Every structure is written in structure tokens, then in C-alpha cells.
Amino acid sequence: MDGLSYHPPTIRDALNARYGIGAYEDADDADNKSRRHLESAVQSLHDLIKETGQLLRRPPGELLVVPEKTRPPRHAQLAQGRLGRLAAEDLADLVAKGMDLEQSLSTGRADWPEALAWTQEADAVLRSSLQGVRLDGDAERSIKACRSPLVADPRRLARASTVFVLSYLREVQARMPDYIEASGQQAPEPQVSMTFSGGTFIGGQFAARISNIHSTVAGIHQEGHVDVAEALRALQQAVVADNMDDNRRSDLLDNVEYLAQAAAAPAGERNRGLARAAMGALTAAATGGSALSQALESWGSVLHRLFG
């Protein structure tokens, strides 16, 4: 019956199993081994706390760089051998990519690595196309800061940096005719290259007004009012897209421009009466199934909240 008797493990056996002490090791060394494990863990924790403290004592600029160059230069020229028309097309493609990226970041379909890749592409396009027009190097560094564990929301930071770069590129777009002319080339006539269902082609007669709207909306976007900027952009694109006569299109673009200017003004200085009248004119012009009607249905509430 002795072979069936149960003998509970001794403290020595338990220590041997817990700390990996072999059968021929002295279990009395278990306390020393446990102490060494604890000292190692405490040292590791101390090192991490020290590193965090050093990071937190740094000036904010060393952790999160805020770009200082917010606007492109007024005077610049094309890079040697660069054709202005092609440079403008490359810039337009880059802006379109940036708009898609910003939207993807806002909905969680993209993250900071995509923002970093696009920003690096933007810098490369500017360097190859223009002399003296560069992205602030801090724009790229601010996105790289997303790798830090101290950044609570990397995607939001990447989106803010993307909006900054996008605003800068739009201003470069607005100045491209001057850059091209200063380079001794003929600036291409601005136009919206769209052919609509009615066969109407929208050319240079509206380009200056559309460019003004784009510039104003870019400033609104840069200030962080992304929903308002998107609403205004949707209205402008809808007015351009719908089939209508030139006089009516001109009047509606005027109204979109009034809304953009009012939205860009400080809250206390907005001409709400003019803004409401502009909204009323756009609403009255919207017919069922039109692009303008769809834009107002999707974005009208954003503008009504702003000017209501």
C-alpha cells in the first residue's frame, strides 16, 4: 500500500519547479535567483521610466515638428528644361491624389505611411518641376513623428499634415501661370477639362473664378474646417458639372464664391444675410437628379449650421 500513498511536494521541490533549479542544484539558492530576476525587472522598468522622462523634458518641437513655411514664394521659375503645361498636369494629379488620401485618412482607410509616401512624392515633384519652391522639411518630419509611442492618434496627425501639404500645393497651382510666364513660356489658358452630357465644354471664361474658389476653400481647409471646405468644393464641382447655360452657371458660381468668402471670414464678421441669399439661390436652381441637388442634399446641412 506504500506505493499508493500520496506525499505532497516539499517546499524544495516547489522552488525547484518554479525557478528551474535542477535536481542536483541547491534549492537554498532559489531566493538568490528570485532576487536576481526581480532586480533585473526593476532595472528594466527604471530604464524605461528614465527614457520617457528624457523624452518629456525635450522641447515640444523635437517631438512634434510644426511646419513654418505655410505659403509658396510669390516669384519662382520652372526647372531647367521643364515644360510648364506638363508641370501643371503633374501638380494637378498630385493634388487629386492628396484629396483622395485625406478622405481615406478621415475614414480610416489609410494611415500615416501612405501620408508619408505622398508627402515625399509631393516634394519630389516640386523639386523636379520648379526652382525655389519646396515643401518645408518639417512637413515630412511631422508625419514621421507618428512612429513615436507618445503620439496618441497617428492617423489624425497624419491627416493634419496632409491637409497642410495639400493647401500648400493648391497655392502653388494658383501661382503656376506666373511661374510659367516668368520662365519665358506661355502660360496655358486655365480651363476645366470636362465634357458634359449636353455637349457643353467649360473653358477659360470661368477659370479665374473657379481658381479663386479653390484658393479660398484651401484656406478654410487649412484652418481645420474640413467639412465646410468639402461642402463648398462639392457645390462648386456640381455647378460646373450640371448642364446649364453660361449666364446661369456664372451666377451660381458667384453664389458659391460668396459662400466661400463668408465661410473664410471670422465668425463675427460673416455676412450671414448674403450667405443665406446665396444658399437660397443655389437651392432654387437645384433640380431633381442634378449634381447640384445631390450636393445640397449631402452637404447643405453643414452650410446651414454655419450660416443659420
Q: What are the boundaries of each domain within the chain? A: 2-57, 65-182, 204-307
Instruction: Report whether 218 contacts 166 (CB < 8 A).
Output: yes
Does the pTM surpass 0.75? The reply is: no
Q: What string of DSSP letters covers 212-281?
A: HHHHHHHHHHHTT-HHHHHHHHHHHHHHHHS---HHHHHHHHHHHHHHHHHHHS-GGG--HHHHHHHHHH
Instruction: Report whether 207 contacts 191 (CB < 8 A).
Output: yes
* pLDDT value for 6: 44
User: What does the chain come to in residues?
Assistant: 308
* pLDDT value for 200: 42
* pLDDT value for 249: 87
Instruction: Report whether 91 contacts 176 (CB < 8 A).
Output: yes
DSSP single-letter state for residue 195: B
* pLDDT value for 65: 63
**pLDDT tens for each residue of the chain, 308 residues long:** 444 444 555 555 555 555 555 544 454 555 666 677 777 778 888 887 777 777 666 554 545 566 666 788 889 999 988 898 888 888 888 988 888 888 788 888 889 999 999 999 999 999 999 998 988 777 888 888 888 777 788 898 888 888 888 888 988 988 888 899 899 887 655 444 443 434 344 445 576 677 778 878 888 887 888 888 888 988 988 888 888 888 888 889 988 989 988 888 888 888 888 888 889 889 888 887 788 888 888 888 888 888 76
* pLDDT value for 68: 67
